[in-house]
């Protein structure tokens, strides 16, 4: 450090301040009450949809009207009567229970019950497994 010159210290005070209050702290109840006591002007504005669970436009829109006017009845396909009878007949011919057939095709017994009662939604993979296990053709022309 020799040869640089005399070392001096800067003794000016440093002031550390907090951040300016953000919008949330300005709206805090304590801050508002303190401002009222101090006599400051306070402006309060009520928002139109504040505190409600309604959309900005609560009137019926074009899409909701279309949905209300929709009359088409949508339902999943169910197992046809011919298929469920064919599954039952082929299972009886092989002298299998529903549980045994389900085990043969690696499915739950409930699946076989649903197919035989006509409640299942047809799945081509399961029908293919049933055809192989029962040795009969279940879909298409006989």
Max Cα distance, the chain (Å): 111
Task: Give Cα 4 to chain centroid, integer Å.
Answer: 71
Q: CB–CB of 138/131 below 8 Å? A: yes
Question: Tokens 């504040």 map to which residue?
Answer: 50
pLDDT tens for the 142 residues of the chain, in order: 556 767 777 788 888 887 776 777 767 788 888 888 888 887 777 776 666 666 655 555 667 777 777 777 778 888 899 999 999 999 999 999 999 999 999 999 999 999 999 999 999 999 999 999 999 998 875 5
In the prediction, which pLDDT does 100 show?
A: 95
In the prediction, which pLDDT does 34 show?
A: 85
CA distances from 106 to 10, 116, 124, 130, 134 (A): 85, 17, 15, 10, 14
In the prediction, which pLDDT does 81 show?
A: 92
DSSP, collapsed to helix, strand or coil, labels residue 97 as coil
In the prediction, which pLDDT does 134 show?
A: 94
Distance between CA atoms of 129 and 70, rounded to whole angstroms?
39
Look at the pTM and tell me if it is higher than 0.85. Answer: no
From the list 81, 87, 121, 85, the residue with the least C-alpha distance to 104 is: 87
């Amino acid at each position: 450090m020799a040869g640089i010159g005399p070392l001096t210290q800067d003794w000016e005070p440093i002031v550390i301040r907090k951040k300016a209050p953000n919008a949330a702290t300005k709206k805090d109840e304590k801050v508002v009450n303190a401002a009222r006591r101090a006599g400051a002007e306070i402006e309060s504005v009520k928002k139109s949809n504040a505190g409600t669970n309604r959309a900005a436009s609560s009137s019926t829109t074009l899409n909701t009207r279309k949905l209300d006017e929709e009359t088409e009845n949508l339902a999943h396909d169910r197992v046809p009567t011919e298929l469920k009878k064919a599954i039952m007949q082929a299972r009886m011919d092989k002298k299998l229970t529903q549980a045994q057939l389900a085990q043969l095709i690696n499915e739950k017994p409930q699946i076989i019950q649903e197919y035989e009662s006509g409640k299942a939604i047809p799945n081509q993979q399961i029908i293919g497994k049933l055809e192989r296990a029962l040795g009969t053709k279940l879909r298409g022309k006989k």
